[in-house]
């Protein structure tokens, strides 16, 4: 595919990121000069300001895998903008022509635009898995070459993507957003109840999963470590935000919360490493202590944040 005549905004700075949405939003905030300090907000700060740290666990014997995790809220992008007082909204349409026209208008006006696009259908991402929440920034387009230039968190340079493959990725997101499949296993827990459920279910997981124990542990490991989660189910991004916020606000309570979140991120990383053995029974035994530590630290993290918020409310009264 020809890479001639790329029209890329000269002021748009793109950097590789740990997570697609927080990295794309970091780039956009820097592009528009929005920060609380003299330097641009870090990716961790962007993630943290969204308040998107979350935990949901689905445990069901009939499901594959038996246990599944999610570590962030699906509303990260709009929550960040709401918390920062930025007017933002998703534009969704079932008409591909209308979608392309809107995108072209934004790019022609020199406005890099945040998109959700399935990476498995983006031509430059060979072998990527499906993910309808993956966020990228379209920086420009070249109708003559049938190319859109994309800033993607996993690549240091803008990527040339055919308009056909980008349309396929966007259309899949539209389908997933407007017509999501009905959940097959609605055995969900959220927040601290999710980590409590995981800790409670862990001792009996071999019996619950049966012959799928190895596949279940492999899926958990991938959820924690892979898929642009920062390698620790987004907890490392939250920790970075808390360190930035503690320094910015001079808050020892946030500093303590950041240290707890550092430990929490390390615990999730270690769990992912411990359950990576080919011997599923051994992996399960090695992971047991780390699941209990994660449970304790998830609670401690919330408690540390509550301590800061209580002081904040008292000072504001």
Domain CATH code at residue 146: 3.90.70.30
More confident residue, 317 or 294: 294
Domain match, 162 and 200 both = no
Burial of 297 (0-12, 13-18, 19+ CB in 10 A): buried
Domain match, 172 and 218 both = no
Domain match, 76 and 220 both = no
Is this structure's pTM higher than 0.75?
Answer: yes
Q: Record the tokens describing residue 243, joined without a space.
A: 């360190």
d(CA 231, CA 226): 6
Domain match, 32 and 132 both = yes
Instruction: Report the phi/psi class of residue 230: left, alpha or beta, with left for phi > 0 and alpha for psi in -120 to 50.
Output: left
Q: Determine the pLDDT at residue 165.
A: 65
Burial of 125 (0-12, 13-18, 19+ CB in 10 A): buried
Q: Determine the pLDDT at residue 4.
A: 40
Longest CA–CA separation in the chain, Å:
61
Domain match, 78 and 160 both = yes
Kindly indicate the confidence band of residue 268, based on its pLDDT and cuts at 50, 70 and 90: very high
- Total count of residues recorded for the chain: 317
**Is residue 159 included in any domain, yes or no?**
yes
Q: Determine the pLDDT at residue 3.
A: 40
Domain match, 194 and 140 both = no
Kindly indicate the confidence band of residue 62, based on its pLDDT and cuts at 50, 70 and 90: confident
**Is residue 9 included in any domain, yes or no?**
no
Q: Determine the pLDDT at residue 145.
A: 77
Domain match, 171 and 28 both = yes
Kindly report the average pLDDT of the chain as a whole number.
85
Q: Determine the pLDDT at residue 144.
A: 77
Q: What average pLDDT does range 180-206 have in this prediction?
A: 81
Domain match, 34 and 172 both = yes
Least confident of 24-28, 132-136, 266-270, 308-312: 308-312
Q: What is the domain range of residue 27?
A: 20-178
Total tally of structural domains belonging to the chain: 2
Percent of the chain with pLDDT over 70: 88
Q: Determine the pLDDT at residue 292.
A: 98
pLDDT reading at 96 higher than 80: no
Q: Dump pLDDT digits (tens) for 208-251.
A: 999 999 999 999 999 999 877 889 999 999 999 999 888 877 88
SS3 state of residue 296: helix
**Is residue 39 included in any domain, yes or no?**
yes
pLDDT reading at 182 higher than 60: no
d(CA 139, CA 104): 10
Backbone φ and ψ of 300, nearest 5°: -60, -40
Domain match, 225 and 290 both = yes
Percent of the chain with pLDDT over 90: 39
More confident residue, 165 or 99: 99
**E strand or H helix at 215:** helix 213-225
Alpha carbon of residue 133 to chain centroid: 8
CB atoms within 10 A of CB 286: 17
Domain match, 54 and 164 both = yes
Domain match, 174 and 226 both = no
Q: What average pLDDT does range 150-163 have in this prediction?
A: 84
- Beta carbons of 251 and 240 less than 8 angstroms apart: no
Question: Which of residues 178, 202, 229 is at a domain's end?
Answer: 178
**Is residue 3 included in any domain, yes or no?**
no
Mind spelling out the 3-state secondary structure of 144-184?
A: HHCEEEEECCCCCCCEEEEHHHHHHHHHHHHHHHHCCCCCC
Question: Which of residues 154, 178, 202 is at a domain's end?
Answer: 178
Q: Determine the pLDDT at residue 223.
A: 93
More confident residue, 130 or 277: 277
**Is residue 174 included in any domain, yes or no?**
yes
Q: Determine the pLDDT at residue 271.
A: 97
Question: Which of residues 143, 178, 213 is at a domain's end?
Answer: 178
Tell me the angle at which helices 280-316 and 213-225 cross, rounded to the nearest 10 degrees.
Answer: 40
- Residues 6 or more apart whose CB falls under 8 angstroms from that of 8 comprise 139, 140, 149, 158
Domain match, 54 and 91 both = yes
d(CA 79, CA 47): 10
């Amino acid at each position: 595919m020809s890479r001639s005549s790329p029209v890329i905004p000269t002021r748009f700075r793109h950097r590789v990121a740990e997570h697609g949405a927080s990295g794309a939003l970091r780039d956009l905030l820097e592009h528009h000069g929005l920060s609380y300090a003299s330097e641009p907000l870090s990716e961790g700060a962007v993630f943290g300001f969204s308040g998107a740290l979350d935990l949901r666990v689905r445990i069901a014997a009939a499901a594959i895998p038996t246990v599944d995790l999610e570590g962030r809220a699906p509303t990260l992008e709009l929550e960040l903008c709401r918390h920062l007082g930025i007017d933002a909204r998703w534009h969704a349409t079932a008409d591909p022509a209308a979608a392309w026209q809107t995108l072209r208008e934004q790019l022609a006006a020199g406005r890099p635009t945040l998109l959700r696009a399935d990476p498995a259908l983006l031509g430059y991402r060979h072998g990527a898995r499906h993910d309808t929440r993956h966020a990228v920034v379209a920086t420009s387009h070249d109708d003559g070459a049938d190319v859109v230039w994309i800033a993607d968190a996993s690549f240091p340079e803008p990527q040339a993507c055919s308009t056909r493959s980008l349309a396929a990725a966007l259309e899949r997101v539209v389908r997933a957003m407007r017509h999501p499949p009905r959940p097959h296993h609605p055995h969900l827990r959220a927040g601290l109840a999710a980590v409590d459920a995981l800790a409670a279910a862990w001792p009996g997981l071999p019996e619950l999963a049966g012959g799928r124990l190895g596949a279940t542990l492999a899926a958990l490991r991938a959820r924690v470590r892979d898929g642009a989660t920062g390698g620790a189910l987004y907890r490392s991004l939250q920790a970075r935000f808390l360190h930035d916020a503690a320094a910015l606000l001079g808050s020892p309570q946030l500093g303590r919360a950041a240290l707890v979140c550092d430990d929490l991120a390390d615990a999730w990383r270690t769990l992912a490493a411990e359950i990576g053995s080919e011997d599923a029974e051994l992996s399960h035994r090695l992971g047991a202590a780390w699941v209990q530590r994660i449970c304790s630290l998830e609670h401690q993290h919330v408690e540390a944040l509550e301590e800061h918020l209580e002081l904040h409310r008292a000072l504001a009264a």
